[in-house]
Structure 1
């Protein structure tokens, strides 16, 4: 008995010790719209990693947008993105602990995430900051971009020959091209271009990004402080582009129109494909738009005819008001046609007048007077009033015919 207790003690001895493994980072899984506020971090070893697990593919996510947004007063931060926490932590450890990044792009404060794959992010900074996970269920801008792309695909043939669209595109291209030419000539006046080029080559892409950021900041400042000058420049460039387009004229060659149409369709495809993170659904919308665009019209008419034969539309009965309105309208139209025929050379007026009992009445009708006399109108109104008071007599009015045999002979 003592030997058995000894063996049991030896077997359970390793389980008496608990080995605690502490990860060098803390993972925060964010399932929906979340806001996390971080103060100035105290010295600690763990890195905070924020992860979005992604969502399942469904049609409700076709216009959905998910973003990581970082609110911080300055640009003294480093941001790391990856598909797993391990990947993010690896980027953090390989960054040698640098906190200040003079070449950080400000647009990195807002990052659009992939909807269907996990995305993790970590921020290395000593400043107070707020991290937001923004979930936009229906992004209006994505809807507008998709509708604009589909419209561009379907109306590409009409726009390729539209003069107004030609002038608008010419003005846009002219203003953009004139801005590029202006930048080119200004760059020729910059001293030390070779030294600047060598600096970009030696410093790598970070120097190029920094220079581009400074140029963009200066351009934005110029637009804000000298907006009137910029406005007059745009007006002058637009007017010059309009004159050039007016001198050239809209394209008339069929091949040129086809090239413009294909270019517009390609732009529409790119717009639709970029309007949704659900690439499969965006591709289906593109294929459907192209099928509608190039579907044979003859085949469409055949399908419509077959559908109408198989499922004819159910006739709608007229109401009393519609019946009397249609009768008055058709009677007036028939009388006008009769007057035109009687006044035309094709009608033998003398032969017709010999067959009529009252030729003067016929001549008065052809001249534009009413085909009914005052007594007939009074008798009809009295008879209709009596029918309104006696519902059983209405059927008699519907069956009886008017006393107009002279006009029926015509």
Structure 2
């Protein structure tokens, strides 16, 4: 039997999995840019940054399997490629380097100019990341329970620090909201919705879902309906925590619009902490965030190494740890702003596919898991995902744009939504025709 304490524990565990400190950089930046339209923008951000990750976990609980098995419903090759892309995104390509950069931005970068104004910050980042990933590599080779134990201590401390930062900002920052920039002047909700992709938590939810399932199974939950209900309860606990964090630090960013210009959300948080608590307070927050980022990086390195070593038995775990650490180290030195920029094309490509796959998991019983429905919906979505990724890279395809722009919500970045439904319906009709033909042929054989 799952007790309320168990629900809270699993909810906090899921919160810790999603609450990579890298996610702290986006809401403050959204707040500064959205200004007077902040509440509309943060509402859209919360749907994709909080709602979809929980939906992803629940989708996995419905299937009772993992992300790859869910993707296999369309085709085994799709399941392999899509799941591999998920792990690469939440691992060495984006999430790990981003977390390492946030650690640098929050703990060391603000204080280097105090020592010397002539220091090359790129060299400082290189040295910092070299030490950081050397430790990540060492711990990842034999993680044991150290990440869990440190995480159980650091996550509550980090959350308390964010609460203190939020409360202090509510009490001390009284500047009025500024006019929104061009991006958020119209369609602020949809812009926030798309920016929620950057947390990467929805695709991470598809990978983390199996962890929640196993945690509930250990507590005796075997019934599918009960599994879904308990996952929903734990997800609600996680959602409350994430909504509070995102809304409060986003609000702080909106209130800091008049204090200067900032390169990224990490700078906003670091400056805000120093303004509210002084150099010592900012340093303490930076150290807490750094330790949290470190445990996140170790956890993701271990998860990715385990996934690829299991999927491709010829690849050894220790070899993968080396490769993932080196790739993460290299990408980290591109800098936080550059990492955020290069992650956008990949995320606008992956997110629509992930959202459609989640939706299909919820509707699976209505179309009896038809492969045609999965393929139709995902194929139509894929066309728009490829186009959006090309636009994000800077490639103009005017001929294709004139065709795809017919789709509703195209201008808001959600042009894939209606076509995915249409593709699913086509798949359903095709499945019915195929099954009808098969039944007719079988009847004819019996008559003859």
TM-score (norm 2): 0.19
More strand by share: 1
More helix by share: 2
Larger RCO, structure (CA 8 Å, separation 6 or more): 2
Largest Rg, 1 or 2: 1
